[in-house]
Amino acid sequence: MRYLTTHIKKDLLKKMVFLGGPRLVGKTTLAKEILDNSNGHYFNWDRSTDRKKILSENWNDSEALLIFDEIHKFPKWKNLVKGIYDTQKEKHQFLITGSARLDIFRRGGDSLLGRYHYWRLHPFSLDELPKKLSKSEAFKRLMKVGGFPEPFLDNNEREARRWREERYDRIIRDDIRDLDNVKDIQSMSLLLQLLRERVGGMIVVSNLAQDLQVSSATVSKWIEIFEKMYLIFTIRTYTKNLPRSLTKPFKVYFFDNGDVIGEEGAVFENFVASHLLKMCHFKQDYTGEKWELAYLRDKEQHEVDFIILRDGKIVELIETKFSDKNISSSLIYFGEKLKAPKITQIVANFHSTQTRNKLQLTNPIEYFVK
């Protein structure tokens, strides 16, 4: 049972539930597990017979739960879902799943605001693991093959690489082409490769555009598409209270930790980023509060990897190191300047936890496994 199962079941009693997340992260498996304990029917928009049934509303009144998978590929999906829900919500519960970002992907039509709750499913992480798998073994797997169910459970690096290339091909050549009609697939694929090599670094769109010989607007659009498809996520600089000193380039991280090309430090930084984003997404989807992940950097080159915000207020500053146990001077500097309630340095190769006032020096297992 995945970490969202109980929450989704509870929300289905009140509204529709939209379940978003990366392709092959386990959305369909989760949906079908919920269906196994309920009378209902699963429909996949990619299947022609199911498309006809959805469009003609061909299902039995006795089927309590209806699951529509990948329906966002239909240009007028919002109007269709709204009409079905408004006329049949007394008879059925509705679970809508998709690998594009259902919360922000817009193709026109009436708003569904107030009719659904939205949840985002992430890969496996240290605080969500299959039974009988030790935390130390899980950490090794997450660093080597990532947290997506198939490669994570298989734990074979060669097969994980094959799985990843096939996933890229399906997303770029099928999903993205269907949704955004991108023509220059080759350059877009090359951009993805460049981003895999720049995890944790400052991303300057104009530089990428020059490398690819396309416009900056095109690169920005492609990055936005990658975000919609849950391939990557970007984090921006935190600017409140430091309006003149912060620079503007953003950073890119991947939902699949296995996507990162680079040294162990970059892989570990992506590992922490993806874990923190999973936490922020869960808290936002559960509480309705606005949880954000950003980073800090000023013109004097003080930099901290991550800052967690809740409704615009600082929760914690976090620095990552693969093996360096010396406390980051920038972490201390920004912690004092911003009066952060908590500052943490997470070190991959550290086997204990030390606390000094607001500062905590710890390792990923003790930090993420509460």
Is the model's pLDDT at 137 over the cut of 60? Answer: yes
Residue 319, domain member (yes or no): yes
Q: Are residues 94 and 175 in the same domain?
A: no
Q: Are residues 212 and 144 in the same domain?
A: yes
Of 33, 34, 37, 109, the closest CA to residue 71 belongs to 109
Where helices occur in 73-201 by DSSP H, the ranges are: 77-88, 135-144, 149-154, 157-170, 177-180, 185-196
Q: Which helix (H) or strand (E) holds 279?
A: helix 264-287
Is the model's pLDDT at 146 over the cut of 70? Answer: yes
Most confident of 68-72, 236-240, 243-247: 68-72
Q: Which of 87, 120, 153 is the last residue of a domain?
A: 120
Q: Using an 8 Å Cβ cutoff, are 141 and 267 in contact?
A: no
pLDDT value at position 245? 41
Task: Name the residue type at position 344.
Answer: T
Question: 253 has which bridge partners?
Answer: 233
User: At 106, which CATH number?
Assistant: 3.40.50.300
Q: Is 289 exposed, middle or buried (0-12, 13-18, 19+ CB in 10 A)?
A: exposed
Residue 130, domain member (yes or no): no
Is the model's pLDDT at 179 over the cut of 90? Answer: no
Task: Name the residue type at position 194.
Answer: L
Q: Which of 72, 88, 120 is the last residue of a domain?
A: 120
Q: Are residues 250 and 113 in the same domain?
A: no
Q: Are residues 93 and 155 in the same domain?
A: no
Mean pLDDT of the chain: 91
Tell me what the mean pLDDT of segment 152-166 comes to.
Answer: 96
Phi/psi region, residue 123 (left: phi>0; alpha: psi -120 to 50; beta: rest), is beta
Residue 309, domain member (yes or no): yes
Alpha carbon separation from 186 to 105, 164, 176, 190, 206 (Å, rounded): 24, 17, 13, 6, 19
pLDDT value at position 54? 97
Q: Are residues 180 and 44 in the same domain?
A: no
Q: Which residues are CB-contacts of 4 (< 8 A; sequence separation ≥ 6)?
A: 19, 30, 119, 121, 282
Tell me what the mean pLDDT of segment 72-88 comes to.
Answer: 92
Give residue 309's pLDDT band: very low, low, confident or very high (50, 70, 90).
very high
pLDDT digits (tens, 9 = 90+) for 32-65: 999 997 899 999 999 999 999 999 999 999 999 9
Q: Which residues are CB-contacts of 356 (< 8 A; sequence separation ≥ 6)?
A: none
pLDDT digits (tens, 9 = 90+) for 258-288: 999 999 999 999 999 999 999 999 999 999 9
Q: Are residues 204 and 316 in the same domain?
A: yes
Residue 94, domain member (yes or no): yes
pLDDT value at position 365? 96
Residue 127, domain member (yes or no): no
Q: Which residues are CB-contacts of 75 (< 8 A; sequence separation ≥ 6)?
A: 107, 108
Task: Name the residue type at position 250.
Answer: F
Residue 129, domain member (yes or no): no
Q: Using an 8 Å Cβ cutoff, are 364 and 126 in contact?
A: yes
φ, ψ of residue 63 in degrees (nearest 5): -80, 110
Output 364-369 pairs: Cβ under 8 A, ≥24 positions apart. 364/126, 364/139, 364/268, 364/271, 364/272, 364/275, 365/126, 365/135, 365/136, 365/139, 368/125, 368/126, 368/127, 368/275, 369/126, 369/127, 369/135
Residue 254, domain member (yes or no): yes
Of 19, 22, 70, 50, the closest CA to residue 171 belongs to 22
Q: Are residues 209 and 87 in the same domain?
A: no
3-state secondary structure 184-229: CHHHHHHHHHHHHCCCCCCECHHHHHHHHCCCHHHHHHHHHHHHHC
Please report where in the chains the tokens 């009140």 appear, as a residue.
14
- Determine which of 35-44, 97-106, 119-128, 216-225 has the lowest per-residue pLDDT on average: 97-106
Tokens encoding 34:
């919920």
φ, ψ of residue 261 in degrees (nearest 5): -110, 115
- Predicted TM-score (pTM) of the model is 0.93
Eight-state DSSP code of residue 174:
I
pLDDT value at position 103? 67
Eight-state DSSP code of residue 124:
-
Tokens encoding 12:
């289905």
Give residue 208's pLDDT band: very low, low, confident or very high (50, 70, 90).
very high
pLDDT value at position 107? 45
Q: Using an 8 Å Cβ cutoff, are 162 and 151 in contact?
A: no
Is the model's pLDDT at 246 over the cut of 60? Answer: no
Q: Are residues 214 and 340 in the same domain?
A: yes
pLDDT digits (tens, 9 = 90+) for 86-118: 999 999 999 999 887 776 554 444 578 889 999
pLDDT value at position 242? 55
Q: Are residues 175 and 291 in the same domain?
A: yes
- Pairing relation of β-strands 359-362 and 354-356? antiparallel
Of 315, 295, 195, 310, the closest CA to residue 250 belongs to 295
The Cβ-side half-sphere exposure at 134, using a 13 Å CA radius, reads: 3
Tell me what the mean pLDDT of segment 131-153 comes to.
Answer: 95
Q: Which of 120, 149, 178 is the last residue of a domain?
A: 120
The residue range of the domain holding 75 is: 5-120
What total of structural domains would you count in the chain? 2
Give residue 185's pLDDT band: very low, low, confident or very high (50, 70, 90).
confident
Q: Are residues 116 and 139 in the same domain?
A: no
Q: Are residues 191 and 333 in the same domain?
A: yes
pLDDT digits (tens, 9 = 90+) for 15-38: 999 999 999 999 999 999 999 978
pLDDT value at position 106? 44
Q: Are residues 218 and 139 in the same domain?
A: yes
pLDDT value at position 362? 96
Residue 262, domain member (yes or no): yes
